Structure 1
Amino acid sequence: HQGVREGPDYIGVPGTYFPLRKGGTVTLYQDVHVPDGCLPNVMLDHGMQYAHEKCWVDIFNAISQAKHLVYITGLSVWHKFRLLRDAGHSHGLHFTLGDLLKSKSQEGVRVLLLVWDDLTSRTILGFGTDGIMATHDVETRRFFKNSSVQVLLFPRIDGKRYSWAGLKDVAPRFTHHQNTVIVDADMILP
């Protein structure tokens, strides 16, 4: 079997750019936010209970605690997005993602965004269009323009295979919807 598994002889997923390393953590989420009491309790082996994680809360906390780097990749990274919305998190309710990232960059944290460039979203003569996918890519880049947050819009194209008409059809339709947030964190010792 190829793929994810564990053990001392496992070298990682074959054909990737970077080797498997020890000490990192990955949290996988079923949903981005699950209010308390919304989902049933799920019992695991050995009497353990599955913990329904809260992605937006975890991302807010991870970015807030970053000291060196925040790297975000995604189909849609919108600067006006509010990570915290519940009354139980009043300390961060007024922060948008853009405000939080600008604040961290002003503290000296390196903030880099790699955002999918919807080829149909453009600014022409000062008027902007959201594009077919409404990913807010141009708007987000404009928001960070005079800050130390670096934004790269990256199109999903293969110019050697498609004509311009083909690009307009293929590029918006075939995207990778996985988003990634990478931050530095204190090492957790076993």
Structure 2
Amino acid sequence: MAEPVDEGSQHSQGVQVVPFRTPNASLKVVLLHGNLDICVKNASHLPNRDSFNEKFKMLLGTSDPYVTISVANAVIGRTYVVNNSENPVWMQRFNVHVAHYTSEVLFVVKDNDVIGSKLIGAVGIPAGILVSDSVIEGTFPILNASGHPCKLGAVLTLSIQYTPVEKMALYGGGVGPDPDLKGVPGTYFPLRRGGKVTLYQDAHVDGSVPSFKLDRGVMQTRDEETRVFFKYSKVQVLLCPRSAGKGSWTKKDGETIYTHHQNSVIVDADAGIKRRIAAFVGGLDLCRGRYDTPEHSLYSTLHTLHKDDYHNPNYKGSTVGCPREPWHDLHCRIEGPV
């Protein structure tokens, strides 16, 4: 009888650098392009990494372990924390799309201490074994920086299976007319039919922009300036904070790291007697004055046309060498059920 599992997050983000190398890190690097079906089951005999353990063991209890999963330093999954347990049980499953060159999939066991996470140890599964399509399942020793078990008997039980993209039926023929196809799995909203999408050419191309002039157009606006601009109009401006939710681990581990590659502008449009909703989907910044061309150059114009095409108030310093991310402004209009 199969054991019950909790569905873990299907996607995550973050960077994780383990301060030591597992024995598998020196193996052959292969491309994992497809899906990883992972189940982090349980751990046993973990060491106690809580602070002030000797003096306040009765008050603080033991370790509060959790596991992160990373490929090529990119965190692709994280279990929940099990409080006060040296033998935690997670039974948590992750289905993750990957496209990484790596020598191993790394399972890092950490202690969620009151003054920050502490590294307990790691288990590395060689990527070369995963490409055989077989299920890798078992109990593995949790190793420390010296390549030895972090504690006698400390082990992590898990299963992992890799499916290359060529064998994933979902990407064989697209959405198509199949009524049984539900769209992209694991997303918040299901596939809906009957919508209308109008694509817009780049404004850079002559003749592609409608011949009308906006009255009192505004550029280089920020959120507060936008709110003030529309204060006494019929336009309602809602300022959405970028900080993560109350219980989100991403807020704890990297609150200043964020991205917003897509913007949407939702308006009401004429529909006879009633009104209807229309949405415009666009690129990185709607008002920073940035621009793109149909060539979508990544590197060749970094020192010329796009030498100032960078904005990140969180980090200062040179950005030379970083590739551009091609984008359009509002590149399509969406109507109907989406």
The TM-score by the shorter chain falls in which range? 0.3 to 0.5
Structure with bigger strand share is 2
Scaled by the length of structure 2, the TM-score of the pair is: 0.24
Structure 1 length as normaliser, TM-score? 0.38
Higher-helix-fraction structure:
1
Of structures 1 and 2, the one with the larger relative CO (CA 8 A, separation 6+) is 1
Between structure 1 and structure 2, the one with the greater Rg is 2
